[in-house]
A and B are shown apart, each in its own frame.
Chain A
Amino acid sequence: MIPSIPQSRFHKGVYAGYITLFFIYLSAPLIVVGVFAFNDSLFPSMPWEGGTLAWFFGNEAPYIGIFNDSKLLGSVGVSAFVAFWVTLLSVTVGTCNAFLFERAQFPGKNLLYVVALSPLVIPGVILGISILVFSNAIANGIEDTIGWDLEFLRPGLFLVILGQFAFVTTITTLVISARLRKFDVSLEEAALNLGATRRAALWTVTIPFLKPALVGAGIVAFLMSFENFNTTLMLVGSDAPLTIAMFDRLKQGSTPVLNALSLLLMVVSGGLALLSVFVQRDKNPD
């Protein structure tokens, strides 16, 4: 079953056929979503009524294109806002965690590491409700004791950011730790011997070395936040991020404007994916 072992023509053909079928299965839903963005019909379904760009630029009801659909565009803005903060927070905290786990020795480190990994095995819905319940308890406690109503602890964007940050940080920690593990500490020591302060050595030697991982972790964090549904669903308030807004539209039955939006999302996230592969590729493999 490896190229150096002779195999019958028939077996090879069957295997290659299976792989082809697999990739058709993988790509079919994405292709139809893209293709139906150009269908001149009110519903994203058959029959094909001819091509149109109305679902991108349309301005007359019911042909409202994505660039004129203020509600959907607004939710893209909300998602970008949330993703920006999640990225900033999770990369910062992930970097601190990476230094802590790779450089420091302290009692209980292994236990702490396992706890830090746990958000990956907690279902998103449960992470969402536990944060919802806890923040609500704090908000009620504060209201009962000193009478302040802390609006940001109620369902809303602040909690959405915290909820996504809670599990995205595990991923950024893993990505940045993996890179830091490869760092040769003697480079930092050389900088110190040459008279650099700790801070200068960190900023001129270590951080530039970590940069591919920082950028890569940032891209992954942004996309994970942008596409998150489960945790967001439980914590969302009146401002709906994109996934929630699209979900509501989908349940009601929507025009192909959703296809147009999905196609744009695919192009953007595909581009970001390629960028992250490119950034993380090690130029001088060791």
Chain B
Amino acid sequence: MTNPAPVTKGGKTSGTIRFGAVLLAMPLVLWLFLLVILPHIDLLLVSLHERISYGKYEFSLINYIEFFVEPLYWNTYVRTAVMSIMATVLTLVIGFPVSYYIAKMMRGKGKSILFLLCLIPFWVSELVRTFGWMILLRESGVISNFLQWAGIADGPVEMLYNDATIMVGLVYTSMLFMVVPLVSVLDSLDDSLIEAGYDLGGNAFTVTRDIVIPHAMPGIASGCIVVFMLTLGNYLTPNLLGGKDSLWFTEQIYTQFITRFNWESGSAFGFLLLVLSSLIVWFGLKISRQTLSETVG
């Protein structure tokens, strides 16, 4: 509102307008500084502390050194990153044909209904969705019983507590964040471009590779970034579907903070996870030539 052009009634001077803008900016500044910027700076500072005795701390890199020396921490970190990338790729591969079907093959009412159906699980708590997978996959669960009834398995089959199950749960939880941007970007692809591709002698494969995917790139980028970030920071799904051996990095952070009350090393872990997540988001934006504002805004 510092724009001088609008005529203001009631004798307001530009001084009060500028005062208004400052007042308007106060909540934003408080929010970002007190809840986002300063806490993260403090997190970094705490992670660089070593506890000498009660209430006494010294600057040290010990928490980071410990992370690289202890194979369990390092392995969990790499494992979480690799599995998150796999989950992101799987979500994209499974979600892309579905988004294409909704955006290009469906028309009118059927299209909106199918799209809404895709959104429904998003409105249900992740806890409830994971609970559903537990009921399906546990030893006494629906699928195990079905396999026995159909004669495929002789006894109860335990399908929980392994990596494949974690993957199923992660892909399920992330699917909506992939489908929504993909549908909206594919919606904007003109049918005539696809027709032209076929007229010029293309087939389904070449048209997809040269026309559909390049056009969908912004949607692919934003979907992948959101999915990757949510998967990396997930706690519920690996914990409930993977059991004790799920080895997810957020669980290490939780253990350091809540169980072992070692905030210094927990902060270091948190900061390392933040760096990993930011790096991969930045890298994703770079290779797809997007900016953060375009992707989430």
A residues touching B (Cβ–Cβ < 8 Å)?
A: 1-5, 15, 18-19, 22-23, 25-33, 36, 43-47, 92-93, 96-97, 99-100, 103-106, 110, 112-127, 129-135, 137, 162-163, 165-166, 169, 174, 185, 189, 192-193, 195-198, 223, 226-227, 229-230, 233-234, 243, 246-247, 250-251, 258-259, 262, 265-266, 269-270, 272-273, 277
Report B-chain residues with C-beta under 8 Å of the C-beta of A117: 292-293, 296-297
* Cross-chain contact A234 with B9 (CB below 8 angstroms): no
If A121-B281, A273-B123 touch, does A126 touch B274 (CB 8 Å cutoff)? yes
Interface size class of B (residues with CB under 8 A): 35 or more
Report A-chain residues with C-beta under 8 Å of the C-beta of B107: 3
| Contact of B132 with A by CB under 8 A | yes
If A1-B208, A29-B129, A174-B296 touch, does A46 touch B142 (CB 8 Å cutoff)? yes
B residues touching A (Cβ–Cβ < 8 Å)?
A: 1-3, 6-10, 12, 21, 24-28, 31-32, 35-40, 42-43, 46, 94, 97-98, 100-101, 104-105, 107, 116-121, 123-136, 138, 140-142, 144-145, 172, 175, 191, 194-195, 198, 204, 207-208, 225-226, 229-230, 232-236, 240, 250, 253-254, 257-258, 263, 266-267, 270-271, 273-274, 277-278, 281, 292-293, 296-297
* Cross-chain contact B94 with A30 (CB below 8 angstroms): no
- Chain B nearest CB: distance from A129 CB in Å? 5
* Cross-chain contact A262 with B105 (CB below 8 angstroms): no
Report A-chain residues with C-beta under 8 Å of the C-beta of B130: 29
* Cross-chain contact B281 with A131 (CB below 8 angstroms): no
Q: Which of A3, A112, A133 has the most CB of B within 10 A?
A: A133
Report B-chain residues with C-beta under 8 Å of the C-beta of A132: 257
Given A192-B9, A246-B127, A277-B116, output 11 extra A-B contacts at Cβ < 8 Å: A28-B136, A30-B124, A36-B135, A45-B138, A96-B25, A105-B2, A123-B277, A126-B233, A127-B39, A130-B39, A243-B125
- Chain A nearest CB: distance from B124 CB in Å? 5
* Cross-chain contact B140 with A118 (CB below 8 angstroms): no
* Cross-chain contact B35 with A165 (CB below 8 angstroms): yes
* Cross-chain contact A130 with B233 (CB below 8 angstroms): no
* Cross-chain contact B104 with A2 (CB below 8 angstroms): yes
**Contact with A266, one of B100, B128, B236 (Cβ below 8 angstroms):** B128
Q: CA A30 – CA B173 in complex, angstroms? A: 12
